[in-house]
Amino acid sequence: MSLRLLGVNHKSAPVELREKLAIPERNLAEATRQLAHHPGVREGMILSTCNRVELVTAHDNAAPDLNLFLEQYFSLEPASLRPHLYEYSEQDAMRHLFRVASSLDSMVVGEPQILGQVKQSYSVARQVGAMNGELDQVLRRALTVAKRVRRETRIGNTSVSIASVAVELAREIFGSLAGKTVCLVGTGKMGQLAARHLMAQGASHLLLSNRTTAGAELLAAELGAEVLPFEQIYDRLDAADIVITTTGSSEPIFRREHGQQLLQRRRNRPVFFIDIAVPRDVDPAMAKLEGIFVYDIDDLQNVASQNQIGRNEEASHAERIIEREVERYKESRLSLDPVPSILAVQRSLELVRQLEFARNAARLAGMNAEQRKAVDDLTRGLLNKVLHGPMVALKAAARDGDEEAMRAIRLALAGDSGDGASEDDSAKGGAD
Amino acid sequence: MGMSLLWLRVAVVLYGASALVAGWTTLRQGTRVRSFLQPLLIGGLLFHFVSLVEVLNNNHHWMPMAVHELESLLGLLLAGLFCWSFYRYGTVSLGMFVLPLVFLLTLAPAIGPDFDTFFSPRLRNGWVLVHVALVLAGYSALILSFLSSLLYLLQEQRLKSKHAGGSYRWLPPLDTADQISYRMLLIGFPCMTLGLLTGSLLAEASTGPSYFGDPKVILSFAMWLLYVFLLWTRRSAGVRGRRAVYLSCFVFLVALSVWAANSLSTVHRFSLP
């Protein structure tokens, strides 16, 4: 059985094309079913995320035309699609799949969502009966490899976006965010994103303050926040543990004296200022106060960049793990190749047949050449008929990855389990 | 080899494994290995407790009369307090420092004979155990508070320097380090107070009021007053962060000097005739 993978991703295709190829979750089962019934496809799976659409198939004989499937399913012209497609087969397909599941091929290397998306696609393919043999094993191996990469490297341990870096820093100051109050000053997009992230990570209360109350009320309703009138901000800011500022003010709105007042009111409990505004809303002198931690956009970006460098270093470690896993899988596939076992069984039983002929040479001596040929054909045919069932079982066991069954059949018929199979067996098998 | 020694050696192995797990989990951020920490630590504590009870019961009628027994008791208290802080705050990084200390404190009694034993008949008093156990519990809490304070300072410096992506990612969250440090002071205070009280009553009963003129006793009470001041500044004056940490470190250093004075001084040593 052979593997083939065809797809587009964020590196090979523009978003306009990826949008056209995206398969909604509700349609994934039907699309996978259609792929499994596409001519030449034995097993199939579709991975569809916002950054990639990939078809993974296993086939027996001639490779299926997966380009045709994409063109037909999405009703697209070949000329608009083919320049953006990439295609892998066999070991390269497997390597690509391992890399995708391990998040090495993602737009943000190390992001955790892709593993869940691969699991989802795998689960759908199994549900619709599109996966039940070797591809199933490859996918299971891909999931195991991805978990190993997560476990043995720190590829996903750090944050690389501004919003997630802000959450990470808040955790490093406060530990758990449960019970913490966030105050969003201004209505900038990045500030909103950071506030949403902090709330999603467990912060319990959100205050929203803006110079124009109308804008604040609208956004507060959307975010589930309490509106803090801008004129009361210095009096009530002590309720906030984390302050995100993103106003368009040309002068700092939080100065050192505000910080001192704040610390006094909070009985020196720490405050974390996330200053995303340009020009900055928080006077840098405030960062010198003990108990106040100020990170502006550049500081957050620096942390994100350092984390990204760390991730890239971990990614090279992950690549080595994947290469080893691909080799291991290739070796295990070779050991499951049924041809050496078939040849061993055939050779062994042919030897038995030849020995029986030699043992009965005296009794067959009276026969003419035609009669001798008839006996030869008869015994050979008998042997082939008897071996047909075990040979089919041997091939099925190899396809299902059932090494134990293969060993048992070979032991019963050829007298050896194949553990110490000679190298020329494998070589012959590979050549065949 | 008595059964108590066997239990102690099992505890030492479990503490050693806990220290390795804590180090690995902290530095490699290995979540998988982390799950072994609690069972290893609880196992170590149980074996250690059984061993200590057996030793104290069989050998000295509940008196820790040897240096090794005191080390073992201090190790048990430290491990117990760390176990509590791990359960309460989920911070492993403190264990990277505490557990090797616990391992060393229990290793000595587990492998070597004790050369320093207190033979004074005055020690044959049940209240001495109470005094020793309470003072050691106070010291254990101070050690953990001190270590946690150091981690706080490192984390604060790291966050202020804005190089948060660096190699000190393993440090505990600032607020957690502060809370552990404070909680340990709160736990240690009643232990230290009652320990000093029982010790003073015992000393007065045996040597009379002259005991209170001993410089090391005066230093002990000065340490206690400093402890009270530290708790008051934290609780009432709202002193937190770096200043609280410096104060906490100072109390620890004074406590350490009291310990040293008690060990080195020849005044009122029960081991001397």
Question: B161-178 pLDDT, tens per residue?
Answer: 887 666 778 899 999 999
Q: If we measure between CA atoms, which residue out of A245, A299, A236 comes closest to residue A274?
A: A245
Contact A270 B175 (CB under 8 A): yes
**Euclidean distance between CA atoms B32 and B3, whole angstroms:** 34
**φ, ψ for residue B182 (rounded to 5)?**
-70, -45
* Residue B81 Cα, gap to closest chain A Cα (Å): 20
Q: Which of A158, A171, A269 sits opposite B165 (nearest CB)?
A: A158
In chain B, the N- to C-terminal Cα span, in Å, equals 32
User: pLDDT tens string for chain A (432 positions)?
Assistant: 689 999 999 999 988 888 889 898 899 999 999 999 999 999 999 999 888 999 999 988 788 999 999 999 999 888 989 999 999 998 899 999 999 999 999 888 888 889 999 999 999 999 999 998 789 989 999 999 999 998 888 887 777 788 888 888 999 999 989 999 999 999 888 888 889 989 988 899 999 999 888 778 888 888 889 999 999 999 999 999 999 999 888 889 999 999 999 998 998 889 999 998 888 999 999 999 988 999 998 898 888 888 888 888 889 999 999 999 998 888 777 667 788 888 888 888 889 988 988 888 888 888 888 888 888 889 989 988 988 888 888 888 877 767 778 888 888 888 776 654 443 443 333 333
A307 touches chain B (CB under 8 A): yes
Res A426: pLDDT: 38
Contacts of A307 in chain B (CB under 8 A): 165
C-beta separation of A184 from A206 below 8 A? yes
At B53, list the tokens: 């009870």
- DSSP 8-class letter at B169: T
Q: If we measure between CA atoms, which residue out of A223, A159, A156 comes closest to residue A187?
A: A223
Pick among A173, A264, A280, A288 to test the B interface (most B CBs inside 10 A): A173
Contact B165 A307 (CB under 8 A): yes
Q: If we measure between CA atoms, which residue out of A273, A265, A264, A313 comes closest to residue A293?
A: A273
**Euclidean distance between CA atoms A160 and A158, whole angstroms:** 7
Contact A270 B173 (CB under 8 A): no
Q: Tokens 């699991």 map to which residue?
A: A119
Q: Rounded to whole angstroms, what are the CA distances from A347 to A252, A343, A415, B77, B197?
A: 88, 6, 11, 73, 93
Contacts of B28 in chain A (CB under 8 A): 154
- DSSP 8-class letter at B117: B
* Residue A180 Cα, gap to closest chain B Cα (Å): 12
Res A242: pLDDT: 95
Tell me the mean pLDDT in the region B116-122: 54
Q: What is the 3-state secondary structure (H, E, C) of chain A?
A: CEEEEEEEECCCCCHHHHHHHCCCHHHHHHHHHHHHCCCCCCEEEEEECCCEEEEEEEECCCCCCHHHHHHHHHCCCHHHHHHHCEEEEHHHHHHHHHHHHCCCCCCCCCCCHHHHHHHHHHHHHHHCCCCCCHHHHHHHHHHHHHHHHHHHCCCCCCCCCHHHHHHHHHHHHHCCCCCCEEEEECCCHHHHHHHHHHHHCCCCEEEEECCCHHHHHHHHHHHCCEECCHHHHHHHHHHCCEEEECCCCCCCCECHHHHHHHHHHCCCCCEEEEECCCCCCECHHHHHCCCEEEEEHHHHHHHHHHHHHHHHHHHHHHHHHHHHHHHHHHHHHHHCCHHHHHHHHHHHHHHHHHHHHHHCHHHHCCCCHHHHHHHHHHHHHHHHHHHHHHHHHHHHHHHHCCHHHHHHHHHHHHCCCCCCCCHHHHHHHHHC
Quote the strand ranges of B59-201, DSSP E. none
**Euclidean distance between CA atoms B9 and B12, whole angstroms:** 5
* Residue A289 Cα, gap to closest chain B Cα (Å): 10
Q: Rounded to whole angstroms, what are the CA distances from A319 to A98, A100, A312, B108?
A: 10, 11, 10, 46
Contact B240 A299 (CB under 8 A): no
Contact A172 B162 (CB under 8 A): no
A50 is catalytic: yes
- DSSP 8-class letter at B64: -
DSSP SS3 for B66: strand
Does pTM top 0.80 for this prediction? no
Contacts of A168 in chain B (CB under 8 A): 164
Q: In the predicted model, what is the mean pLDDT of chain B?
A: 82
Query: Considering all CA atoms of chain A, what is the largest pairwise distance in Å, rounded to the nearest integer?
Result: 121
B240 touches chain A (CB under 8 A): yes
Q: Could you give the dihedral angle defined by the CA atoms of residues B161, B166, B167 and B170, in that order, rounded to the nearest 10 degrees? A: 80
C-beta separation of A293 from B160 below 8 A? yes
Q: Which residue of B has its CA nearest to A311?
A: B165
Res B272: pLDDT: 39
Confidence band, pLDDT 50/70/90 cuts, at residue B28? confident
Q: Which of B28, B165, B240 sits opposite A310 (nearest CB)?
A: B165
Contacts of A178 in chain B (CB under 8 A): none
* Residue B267 Cα, gap to closest chain A Cα (Å): 44
Contact A303 B243 (CB under 8 A): no
Q: Which residue of B has its CA nearest to A241?
A: B175
Res A199: pLDDT: 92
B218 touches chain A (CB under 8 A): no
Rg (CA), chain A: 33
Q: Rounded to whole angstroms, what are the CA distances from B38 to A178, A215, B81?
A: 24, 51, 13
Contacts of B238 in chain A (CB under 8 A): 267-268
Confidence band, pLDDT 50/70/90 cuts, at residue B128? confident
Residues 6+ apart with CB under 8 A from B131: B195, B198, B199, B202
**Euclidean distance between CA atoms A242 and A247, whole angstroms:** 16
Res A399: pLDDT: 72
DSSP SS3 for B102: helix
* Residue A128 Cα, gap to closest chain B Cα (Å): 34
Confidence band, pLDDT 50/70/90 cuts, at residue B4? confident
Q: If we measure between CA atoms, which residue out of B156, B35, B20, B152 comes closest to residue B86?
A: B35
**φ, ψ for residue B3 (rounded to 5)?**
-65, -35
Task: Indicate whether B271 pLDDT > 50.
Answer: no
Res B62: pLDDT: 57
DSSP SS3 for B75: helix
A293 touches chain B (CB under 8 A): yes
Q: If we measure between CA atoms, which residue out of B148, B131, B143, B150 comes closest to residue B262?
A: B131
| Catalytic-role residue among A11, A14, A39, A50 | A50
Contact A175 B175 (CB under 8 A): yes
Contact B162 A302 (CB under 8 A): yes
C-beta separation of B172 from B151 below 8 A? yes
In chain A, the N- to C-terminal Cα span, in Å, equals 13
B 22-41 residues with CB < 8 A to A: 28-30, 32
A260 touches chain B (CB under 8 A): no
Q: Which residue of B has its CA nearest to A160?
A: B165
Greater pLDDT, B29 or B133: B133
Task: Indicate whether B203 pLDDT > 80.
Answer: no
* Residue A156 Cα, gap to closest chain B Cα (Å): 11
∠ Cα A201 A205 A208 (to 5°) = 110
B175 touches chain A (CB under 8 A): yes
A 145-204 residues with CB < 8 A to B: 151, 154, 157-158, 168-169, 171-175
Res A218: pLDDT: 84
Confidence band, pLDDT 50/70/90 cuts, at residue B18? very high
A241 touches chain B (CB under 8 A): no
Contact B162 A295 (CB under 8 A): yes
Contacts of A287 in chain B (CB under 8 A): 160
Pick among B34, B170, B175, B233 to test the A interface (most A CBs inside 10 A): B175
Res A20: pLDDT: 87
